[in-house]
Structure 1
């Protein structure tokens, strides 16, 4: 009995031991898996490397890398990748002969502090989505194009940035104000232009700056107070003196510019010179002050003796607004007319002379001014007559720092007023004579009657001292050309919906000129640089009504925009405008310039390259601007391409009128809205006239 009863007991003991053993093995297994899971890489980081690997054409030299999945922080060895725990912290891929691009998910690499892909063959624009928290960033020695991505401005831990030896272009934007730790910045051997941004002055830790072999211009004064030890600005277009504070830099290289040397005296001597200069300056100021008092007394004496002369003179001051007006919102500067008048004599960019006093103005000019101002008292559509001194003061003597752009017939400057009002002043290159004054005023009268929500509004004009100046509303987002070609693809990308609406708004402006105005008005210079974008990206076609200035055969309009029949400017017709508009649509579709000598020969002329592919859906998809990242409705894209094909036909008689173009683009907008379920991103600034086409609905 006892023997029989002991067998089940031993079996039970064995069963319990087995269960415990199995349970222990299971726990160990789960523990190991948990430990492995803790050391595995973040899935979003892995995905970023997968995309990066594919975008670089899956190079064999990147051993261990995969196009899908994988674990660079596990047991696998991914070349160039270093991890801390389960986070990727370093990417070192310098000099590996890599090609292609960097992909679009680098923002997922939030733990990366060291990012080096220098000395490869990477191309295209530097992606906006770079690793967000690097300390060391090196993209040098590739063939990157476009501008510097604005995302760099948010990398507050940056200490080292090298973008040198690429093909970067455009102007440096004011984006360096939040980089307090940046110690070394290399932008050398690119094609950067414009002035050094004022935010350079905020780089209080900057020891090394290389900007040599670019096309930068202006002064280098913004660098004066930086703790620089190594500065190279050679082979640019810098002008002016070298700040004395830069004299102490250990390694300073400034050759190949138009810089004037700093003084060779020691600090004590320079201090003495400064003191003497201050004394002389004080004496001059005191003398001028006394002179003003004397002149004031003389003027008062003269006023009491000749009151009727003063009345006549005041009537002749008809070119200066005397009160706040509805267009500019600023008061007349007539009382401050002496401000910076001397600067007019030495303004090289404008070639201005001091404006003659009204009493010295020709009788013909004064008479015309009186007639014009009496006319505009009954014609609210007319523009405001500005004084030259007023515009000179608002534009800083038309300084190069206020230059917004240079077009076919003149330059445009930014005018800023004390009350915050900002305007754009266009200076026509052609000088005006008394004989041509009437013609210019006829042009102004015609432009001032153009009223459409998509046409740049003329605010005023100036004809003093032989100059032809036009004053327009200022559009804060610049031109379409700048958006498409002078900023990198990822900093400020235009969505497909926005592009279609920009095309539609511009088409409606041209339709207004062609089919509403009587007589019809040919623009003759439709191009992306003449399509200005306001704060909400509404398009405003500029230079309308200025075709008379394009009669000079030496004027070179935008290359790639002219229709085949336009062998000379007199051959332009309404259908020539339609062709130019079609080229702008191609820019919106492809992100390419109308003519680009940097492309292969067969792709340099945009119309010639693109036209055969517009009806091939597969080829069309390959043509689309990469900045769109495939985010567009295919049917809207196809319809958009159909409109382009009609507009750029070589035979002008087969091109549609602009009213038909407008109707077709309305269909693109509606199709875009239906596909995306969006109302569009240009929904503000509504005008009742737009409801006819449902543009803003």
Structure 2
């Protein structure tokens, strides 16, 4: 009898183990509970019979199949938040903004201890902010603006030492703001009934986007700290700086573009893609999907499961000792550079042997392809579009150099790295990649990266790059726009010695024969004065001494018609002087070849 009871017990234990094995994954249970509580009928692919939620849309997992990111923005939900979400302790980013979610914020959200970003903005949430949110020690962004929250701000939020942005505007909160929260880099408590303390007009809101285009610093006696009028993009300048100090995912932020106050750009969440997902999107990196190949690797056209077209850059040169963390940190630094003339990074993927970056697909490919690889029936880039590309590219580089902290140097500016969106707006791609692949290098100078003919002389000789390195490459790109030619063309050896496009243009400029070099595809449809102005800017940008080259902000002004005449006159004077000196030395050298040399004079020129 005892033996039978033992057999029965073993059978029960085995059955229980089997049931535990086939039961739905706890993560999937929690997410499905959220779907039900939100009345989220839109999430048709969230199937409780599929135990691994990592295959569900809007859910991102790490390599261990642990949910790290959940993004359900602007989907029109009408339900409530499920407290069961609190079991997803590996969750790092939770974005539910822009829905119609009502009810309270569950206390269980305080269990999400790995959370770096919580965005519940623009919903209909009620009740108080849970004290338990003070347990989220890794939280960097807390955005709960535009809800119906009541009560006071919990003192426990003062414990969030990693917080760089807290947005609680437009609720019905009351009471005192904890002092620690107005020390956060970016905060907004406006639209409540809060006691902001001394100088309340300034204490309820930090400086945010949309400020003056000129920088100024004012120190006010008797008031602690300084008020800084933010450069061009206001608060986004600070946002770049914060991201350099803190890890974690970004959030959706709207920033103003300098010179176009009414246009806003959305800074989306950086997504970590699974290797399998990108394999499927690119048909296993099929060669027929290759869009191009450069110094950093191949770029593949792809399509995600939701039919979104993407471009996947598969890096072939990176320092593996840096590992996933170093790579991700540098990727996030690139991702915070958001401007209408910069290619937006959607996400990335890392494996022990692979590093991939994911970008939106640019319908009109690159400027280089439009200049030199036209397919039958494709329109030629007209002169008006080329001017538009020149100015847009300059604005993108100006942003990288002067409005990101730390500044980002491209190191490979050329027509092939300037892409064209559906409206033929210029979008600078591949910025920051040189730093990205060199992240583990410890030598003072980095590996020289770029394309011959576009590389500034000082970078080629010393390996040291600066923003003036990019200015040189930009000048060569302007010459590509005007001529349609490559920076180096060996076919010119048949007619002359000027293999370099820059030397060829300089020669024609001296001979006042620029008409002969303008792209024939334009069929004479251009304004010669505008062509001459663009060439003048190009030659100013490609001066041999980096100190003599203009900054990109000055280039923008010159392209807009301000200050070019003065700089050009100065350049001509310097160029003529240098050319005369060169010709004098050349004549002296030629004279010396046909004369009897003074031996003592020759020795003086030797080693000393």
Larger Rg belongs to: 1
Q: TM-score, normalised by structure 2?
A: 0.50
Provide TM-score, normalisation by structure 1.
0.44
